[in-house]
Amino acid sequence: MSSRARLVGLTERMGIVPMTSAAAELPRSLWAATACPVPAYATARSDTVADVVVIGGGYTGLSTALHLAQKGRKVVVLEAAEPGWGASGRNGGQIIAGMKATVGELAALFGEDTATRMVANMGLSADLVFALVEKYGMDCHAVRSGWLQAAHGPKPFRDLIVPRYEQWRGLGVEAELLDASATAAAVGVASSPYHAAWRDPRGGTLQPLSYARELARAAMSEGAEVITRTSATSLRRHSDVWEIEAGGMRLRAGQVVLATNAYATAHADSLWPGLGRAVIPVTSFQMATHPLDEKFDHLLPAGLGVTDSRRLLLYFRRDHQRRLVMGGRSPVEDNPSFADAAPLQRAIQGLFPELGLPQPQFVWSGKVAITKDRLPHIHRPAEGLHVFLGCNGRGVGLCTMMGKMLADLATGAPPAEVPFPTTVPDSFVLHGLRKLGVYALSQYYRLLDKLESSGHKA
């Protein structure tokens, strides 16, 4: 066996899979088939000097670059494939304001003052998305239709839905609490399987891959440079300057933002030891029906994005071409087949009986970065190095806001003035056994969800 073959075998066993030219191709999905045109990105070239180098071209990295460029900084984005190749181009495209944690939960970790600032700031994340869409005329089918979180039983309604509704009502959001009948009307069915729900008017939907491309276009219009198909291979600090090697080029910058998240845990670990073990990538699977006939326009009549309260949640919406898009947890890693969509087909049939068992036009999967405490994190493991990890399924709005805060940190804002704490990475024990652990936990969650579902006593 050659030395190269031995090296490839070793890296694969370690979970470090290099980004090949084939892997860099955009996976087939509804979003890839209907996205806006690809902007003219840059490619690797000779050595360069920048104020900030951003590693990772998803929402976080691109928002960081945009906000840095707005401040007049020279910023270069390095993306191993193309913007939106990872989770930013594969998610459900639901714009959700805020984080999953309540003020009380955050206060127990960070203190009440910090928790209050975190919630208030992240509550503006959907506003930030829609403001950027309007300012730059983004072609991403963004609609502020609202977001609905539906309770699958009385216990999650009492323990999850009501506290979130009360929190945001207390902060001035015109949220609504819906009973079973009103939830059915919002979903567009005669009888809903959901116990109740709350509606957040700040949310909405968009075409997620188009949004990534349009964030990149906006950043470039402000002077940022986005270099694609170029993976950072080393990160070192000399004196007060960072040196990054990537695709045969060498970059020098005073500040670095690392925003690779779920799709590059092993890669992040190779750039800065320990980061990759602070998240577990979990697969989410989606299917889209063929465009529905006009006679089904009463389904999701307001165009809501809907997420339910299950631990192994379902989320669904209509796209801009009248398809129904349904997503949920799946053991399928990559390259799913139509046969893998059977659980989601049954879920659609259960929610919308008049659709029967709809045939998928598209199926695809993507990774969600999960942290130990289920919270997003900003880390500063070294002077001038800023790291984001863990969108935990709230990527569109949350990552856009994270980019804005990372830009503030990279331009000298004291961490105490940024409305989000800087933390130390918390690694998962036995991270190498993560797939087995995810499977076991999924089975346990599936049982709890079933016991809590409507028709069972809480």
CB-CB neighbours of 297 under 10 Å: 12
- pLDDT at position 277 over 90: no
Residue 9: what pLDDT? 35
Residue 271: what pLDDT? 86
| Lookup: tokens for 404 | 């804005």
Q: What is the mean pLDDT of residues 406-419?
A: 96
Average per-residue pLDDT in the chain?
87
What would the pLDDT profile of 349-401 be if each residue is shown by its tens digit?
999 999 999 999 999 998 888 888 889 999 999 999 999 998 888 889 999 99
- pLDDT at position 7 over 60: no
Q: What is the mean pLDDT of residues 431-441?
A: 49
User: Per-residue confidence at 181, pLDDT binned at 50, 70, 90?
Assistant: very high
In a 13 Å sphere around the CA of 223, the CA atoms on its Cβ side amount to 12
Which amino acid is it at 363? V
User: Per-residue confidence at 6, pLDDT binned at 50, 70, 90?
Assistant: very low
Residue 369: what pLDDT? 84
CA–CA separation, 407 and 63 (whole Å) = 8
Out of 29-33, 183-187, 271-275, 331-335, least confident range: 331-335
Residue 14: what pLDDT? 29
Percent of the chain's residues with pLDDT above 70: 86
Buried b (16+ CB within 10 A) or exposed e, 378-392: bbeeeebbbbbbbbb
Superfamily classification of domain 16-91+209-278+375-427 = FAD/NAD(P)-binding domain (3.50.50.60)
- Rounded to 5°, the CA angle 272-383-57 comes to 55
User: Per-residue confidence at 438, pLDDT binned at 50, 70, 90?
Assistant: low
Residue 25: what pLDDT? 82
Residue 77: what pLDDT? 97
CA–CA separation, 93 and 29 (whole Å) = 13
What would the pLDDT profile of 142-170 be if each residue is shown by its tens digit?
999 999 999 999 999 999 999 999 999 99
Percent of the chain's residues with pLDDT above 90: 71
- pLDDT at position 411 over 50: yes
**Which residues, at least 6 apart from 268, have a Cβ–Cβ distance to it below 8 Å?**
258, 260, 275, 276, 387, 389
Which has the higher per-residue pLDDT, 209 or 44? 209
- pLDDT at position 114 over 60: yes
- pLDDT at position 17 over 50: no
**Which residues, at least 6 apart from 118, have a Cβ–Cβ distance to it below 8 Å?**
99, 106, 110, 419, 420, 421
- pLDDT at position 458 over 60: no
Maximum mean pLDDT: which of 52-66, 252-266, 325-339: 52-66
State the pTM of this model: 0.90
What would the pLDDT profile of 310-333 be if each residue is shown by its tens digit?
867 899 999 999 999 999 976 666
CB-CB neighbours of 92 under 10 Å: 24
User: Per-residue confidence at 263, pLDDT binned at 50, 70, 90?
Assistant: low
User: Per-residue confidence at 3, pLDDT binned at 50, 70, 90?
Assistant: very low
In a 13 Å sphere around the CA of 385, the CA atoms on its Cβ side amount to 20
C-alpha closest to that of 390 among 271, 262, 282? 262
User: Per-residue confidence at 275, pLDDT binned at 50, 70, 90?
Assistant: confident
- pLDDT at position 21 over 50: no
Which has the higher per-residue pLDDT, 262 or 7? 262
> Are the C-beta atoms of residues 318 and 303 closer than 8 Å to each other?
yes
Distance, CA of 80 to chain centre? 18
Which has the higher per-residue pLDDT, 1 or 54? 54
Residue 405: what pLDDT? 98
C-alpha closest to that of 187 among 317, 287, 312? 317
